[in-house]
Structure 1
Amino acid sequence: MRTVLNVIWLLLCGIWLAIGYVLAGVVCCLLIVTIPFGLASFRIADFALWPFGRQLVRREDAGAPSTIGNVIWIIFAGWWLALAHLTTAVALAVTIIGIPLAWASLKLIPVSLVPLGRIIVPTDDAQATRYPVVR
């Protein structure tokens, strides 16, 4: 079922979201100082392509730099992105068939608000909170 939902999501919403996040990531990486935000945008783009069967968890080793970066991110980009995902979710939920897609859009709100110090893991992993950190 996840595969079917991911394919429908990809065709209707995911590809456009991923392209937007990748473009934002490229711009952030070009500006040198904002490279961490660019990498976070690439991570969000990956999650936006295939949201079903995956979840966002906090990294064990995330510290003060991630928190400071997330505060800056929320001020300049996070709340706009969260509002856009919420609006999209409401528009998708109006139709009965769009309810699972609305759920996926709502799943993207936490990662769009605080992307630094987070990793995306499969939901099948019974110990997702203890998922090994990839460096």
Structure 2
Amino acid sequence: MHVSYEQAEKAIAAAIAEANKIGTQMCIAVVDSGADLKAFTRMNGAWVGSIDIALKKAKTACFFGMNTGQIGQLSQPGGPLYGIEHSNDGLITFPGGVPIVDEDGVLIGAIGVSGSSVENDHQVAKAGVDVIGLADLPSHPWRT
């Protein structure tokens, strides 16, 4: 099962609204469960360099089924995933990528956001996932 086009568009709209609320411009990518691009937007004024970062954050969250910030914690020097960012043609291991799961807890895609601080990126990505209505699932690694 993949995230639908309608869900992806709804997630992007919510992410844009959150970015506007906090006064920042973002690049927002939604990928399906195969980590292929489903929908993308670059808000007016968002950095060109954030295009690739947003897409890689979404892919990273999808590949590993967890928030990119969590992967970043595990990939610090001495950590069990140290160096993982060099795999899969490059991963992003700082906050801003969040998996999208269905009501059964099955991964159906991910969202990646870039363009501000990593805290803001995560906040905007989470807003995109929350609007789909799948955020109140039981505790899973991607829920923090």
With the length of structure 2 as denominator, give the TM-score of the two structures.
0.26
Structure holding more helix per residue: 1
Which is greater in Rg?
A: 1
Structure holding more strand per residue: 2
With the length of structure 1 as denominator, give the TM-score of the two structures.
0.27
